[in-house]
A and B are shown apart, each in its own frame.
Chain A
């Protein structure tokens, strides 16, 4: 990899909802990873495994139950002045999974996208404001006629692009993109992904890219993390993960990717994953271990030895 400066460090992060109650959910259960400046880290995993919660905790929408998030070495969850918070908010932006719920229904598109520009004083006058919004709409494949509409007057994919335009408006350094393209048709997906890559090359942006479409994730990511039930179970360079998937959940995930080929689909064989299959003993030390260079797997001592033996010669 080109650059190896850590932009974001997540250390032993935990996020429990309703702690101590019968409906306690360990949405994030002790995860540790870093995101390097200028890279794209893909995050995939079972629905409900804690991907969005991870994103939301990073940008401080939730207070962490335990653990640390460091941005450029500074603890995100520590005490801060208003000015510091504002600066943070501009550097980190999130494109939300649920586009409708995250757009104010009573605001016109013009004002939704310009909100960040206004807060951070990024435009001098109304004319510049309008031009900047038009430009952003075009960037995401919409046009200036759309600026006068309300969110409900858009299709699902058009709304998702409004969320992207809004996040780009303040020119952040780090973007958490939570399923930014799942509601788009494949051609516009390609357009948005090409755009994200271009912006990355031009401006050195860093992305945390959460998605379910594994071929797209592979395409855009430098490294990929796989989550299962609040834990990170595998973390590896993108190519390596697809070539040598090691955790059985990762293997089941890769075996289920639907391909645009009806014949293939009629004969597909899926691998299923049963978490009980590990037969971990009480107190057994299960943790992330490096099996190949940069390729980490959540495993026990015994599993680690087996994986090493299997992958030693690859």
Chain B
């Protein structure tokens, strides 16, 4: 498949009162035409910052590109002028922000805000743009859109604001849609509608989607591929089946083990022990080592490179080094691996369950 976006060796820091926050520490990935890449990972690991860097929306005064490039359509986005970038933003690449209130203007009706990019990037009259705004609001499941385009953001519920932001992002049929937690404020039924809507759009115009979310159920539903981030790096990347049924990095194991299950009542939920590393002074070696029961001596000394698991699956953990001892993953992870053909725990397509 054709690559539409390539992020290479991205390194980025913030200068703060307390010192240099090394938020992105060497991120590499590409995005193919028409695919959905989900980014999951620790809160504060750099998911939003990575995508804001693509959109060039980080505060210029305090952020610094240290290294790397972001290639879109043969152009390095990090080198474009603001004016060139404005033509791309909202048209070729659009973004649904994590905090809907920060991307909506509190003093402008939401009708005007949805019409703005339509009028800017498409040759439509005001009346046509307004019709389109109403249509988009209908698409995202807003009741009474004709009445409600006249209202202001504070008059909407959290999930309704989120849907307004989605409507704005979809207005110009973008080539790349970056969706940062687009459905966290939505109930599961409306969430399912929005996910369908995004899939339809993708089928119609071959949009590529970067989907950031903490909800692993949503990831399982929408993603073709998944990247797992931890402290400013991607630690594992693969197809959705590879990440859910054959994960290799101990952080991915911890993440998949932290979800409560609907069937069993645990006394206490599993949480990964320890705290995330300090990005002012990131640890040497594998930054997850201090929280991992699988850490080895080398993890404290050297940063693990990406080891290849398959043509589509890579993980940055020393456990995959040919000389590493074989370890037993957590029980819940073995249950998952039982369903993965090339895993040593494979037990057939239904994971050996007797149903």
Contact = CB atoms under 8 A, between A and B. Distances in A.
Contacts of A270: 189, 192
15 contacts: A48-B143, A100-B99, A154-B44, A179-B184, A185-B214, A186-B255, A187-B272, A212-B187, A212-B188, A216-B260, A258-B221, A259-B217, A262-B245, A264-B220, A270-B192
Interface string B137-167: 0000001100110110001111110110000
B215 A258 contact: yes
Which residue of B43, B148, B186 has the most chain A CB atoms within 10 A of its CB atom? B43
Interface string B200-226: 000000000000001111111100000
A215 B260 contact: yes
B355 interface: no
B16 interface: yes
Nearest to B186: A47
B191 A256 contact: yes
Nearest to B280: A145
A17 B189 contact: no
Contact of B43 (A97, A184, A216, A257): A184
A155 B44 contact: yes
B259 A212 contact: no
Contacts of B155: 17
A261 B244 contact: yes
A265 B158 contact: no
Contact of A265 (B99, B150, B220, B275): B220
A253 B265 CA distance: 20
Counting chain A residues whose Cβ lies within 8 A of the other chain, the interface size class is: 35 or more
Given A157-B44, A216-B260, A44 B187 contact: yes
Interface string B170-185: 0000000000010011
Given A45-B187, A48-B157, A257-B217, A100 B102 contact: yes
Interface in A162-197: 179, 182-191, 193-194, 197
Nearest first, the 5 closest Cβ-Cβ pairs linking A and B are A47-B159, A258-B217, A157-B43, A190-B269, A260-B216
Contact of B275 (A143, A148, A156, A252): A143
Nearest to A211: B187
Contacts of A259: 217, 220
Contacts, number: 185
A60 to B, nearest CB: 18
B237 to A, nearest CB: 16
Given A47-B187, A256-B188, A187 B256 contact: no
B18 interface: yes
B188 A258 contact: yes
Contact of A253 (B163, B188, B260, B262): B188
Interface of B: 14, 16-18, 40-44, 48-49, 98-102, 143-144, 147-148, 150-151, 155-160, 162-163, 181, 184-192, 214-221, 240-241, 244-245, 254-256, 258-262, 265-266, 268-272, 275, 278, 280, 339
Contacts of B261: 215
Contacts of A191: 271
B189 A186 contact: no
Contact of B158 (A98, A154, A261, A272): A98
Which residue of B48, B151, B185, B186 has the most chain A CB atoms within 10 A of its CB atom? B185
A45 B157 CA distance: 12
Interface in A68-102: 97-101
Contact of B14 (A153, A187, A190): A153
A257 B158 contact: no
A182 to B, nearest CB: 4
B275 A141 contact: yes
A253 B189 contact: yes
Contacts of A214: 188, 262
B232 to A, nearest CB: 12
Contacts of A272: 189
Which residue of A45, A179, A265 has the most chain B CB atoms within 10 A of its CB atom? A265
A218 B43 contact: no
B43 A185 contact: yes
Given A48-B160, A219-B260, A185 B41 contact: yes
Contact of A47 (B40, B43, B163, B221): B163
